[in-house]
Every structure is written in structure tokens, then in C-alpha cells.
Amino acid sequence: MFNSKITFFSYSSGDLADDMIRFIQSKSFLRLNTDIFMTPVIDLGSSNFERIVKDRARSIMVMYYNGNCDLCNSLQNTIHDVGITFRNEPTCLIGRLNCDTEPQICIQQTIPHYPTFKVYSQHNKDGVVYEPGAYQESYSERNMTTFMNALCGTQRKMRGRLSEKVTFDTFKIAL
């Protein structure tokens, strides 16, 4: 039988999934299924920003946000859906960074307002601000998917499906 003693711990470390996983694993004897923490959007912070964003093998779109921004909060679902679309594209990533908890990175990246979407392509790791369009198009899943397909040279449709334009010649099969 199990010992019925329950011990409560306060958590006050970082807000990234890796921080929470380390905390739970350090306090528990149970095996943790870490898949519940993995989202299609990479949570960026001081511990991983340089490594992920500056990787020349990948392009990444980063949403810079803060907790007091209503538009930022409403775009969390949109950026999640775009992340699902590109989940299986190893060279095309979607990330987000909370400027309330990481102000030094936001200052370094000269983030003018919230939300700001900045794109770091394989060829330009200084980043370029992504605006939805010259004709006031919205920050929609469709617009971001179209943009990321052009940036990454992919053929994804919303929710991760492949476009009808993809042929078997598109895939490289390693034997």
C-alpha cells in the first residue's frame, strides 16, 4: 500500500514548460508524461532564445506579447493553430515570448508595441517585423500560414494538411 502522506510544494520558478517539468520531476517519484506540456508553439525565454531563434537551419516567427494586451490574448489561439500547421516542418517554427517576464530580450529586439510578430529567416537572424498586409489584412491563421509557406518553401494548409500542389516528387525518401 502507498503511504498516504501528502506534501504540498509551492512553485515559483520560470513559466516555461521545461522549468515546470524539472520541478515536478525533482519532487515526485512518479514518471511524468511530458507530452502534456508540449505545445506546437515554442515558449521562448532567456534560457533558449539565442539557441532557437539564431539557428541558421530554421526559420521562426515569434509573437512578442504581454499580459495586459487584449489583442495578444485573443491571438494566442491563432498562433497555436499556426503552430499546429507547421508542427511537422522541422525548418519552420512558431514561437512566442512574454515581454513581462523577459523584458531584456524585448528591449534587445526593439519591440515597439504588443503584439509584435518578428520573423527570423534562415538568411536573416536580425529579424524583420511581420505586418499582416498593406491592405490592413488581419492577423489570421490563413494569412500567417500563407506567409510562413512562402518563407519556408513549404506547402502547408491550415491544421497541418499538405496542399494539393504537393506531389510525390516533393518528398525525399531516405533508405
Query: CATH no. for residue 67?
Result: 3.40.30.10
Domain membership of residue 158 (yes or no) is no
**Whole-number Å distance between alpha carbons of 81 and 164:** 20
pLDDT grade, residue 168 (50/70/90)?
Answer: very low
> Is residue 35 predicted with pLDDT exceeding 60?
no
Residue 172 falls inside a structural domain = no
Range 108-127 average pLDDT: 95
* 127: pLDDT strictly greater than 50: yes
Q: How far apart are CA 144 and CA 80, in angstroms?
A: 11
- Name the one residue in this structure whose C-alpha cell is 491544421: 159
Among the listed residues 30, 37, 40, 34, the one whose alpha carbon sits nearest the alpha carbon of residue 16: 37
CA angle 126, 38, 154 (to 5 degrees): 50
Residue of 40, 74, 37 whose CA lies nearest to 160: 40
For residue 15, pLDDT beyond 70: no
**Percent over 70 (pLDDT), the chain:** 78
* Residue 161, domain member (yes or no): no
Could you list the residue range(s) of the whole structural domain that residue 99 is in? 37-152
Q: Is residue 32 part of a domain?
A: no
DSSP characters over 54-82: T-TT-EEEEEEE-TT-HHHHHHHHHHHHH
pLDDT at 32: 64
23 belongs to a structural domain: no
Q: Please name the amino acid found at residue 59.
A: S
pLDDT digits (tens, 9 = 90+) for 42-73: 999 999 999 999 999 999 999 999 989 999 99
| pTM, two decimal places | 0.72
Cis peptide before 115 (omega within 30 of 0): yes
With respect to residue 162, please indicate whether it lies within any of the assigned structural domains: no
**Could you give the number of structural domains in the chain?**
1
Higher pLDDT, 15 or 51: 51
In a domain, 45, yes or no: yes
* pLDDT tier, 173 (very low <50, low <70, confident <90, very high otherwise): very low
Residue 31 covered by a domain: no
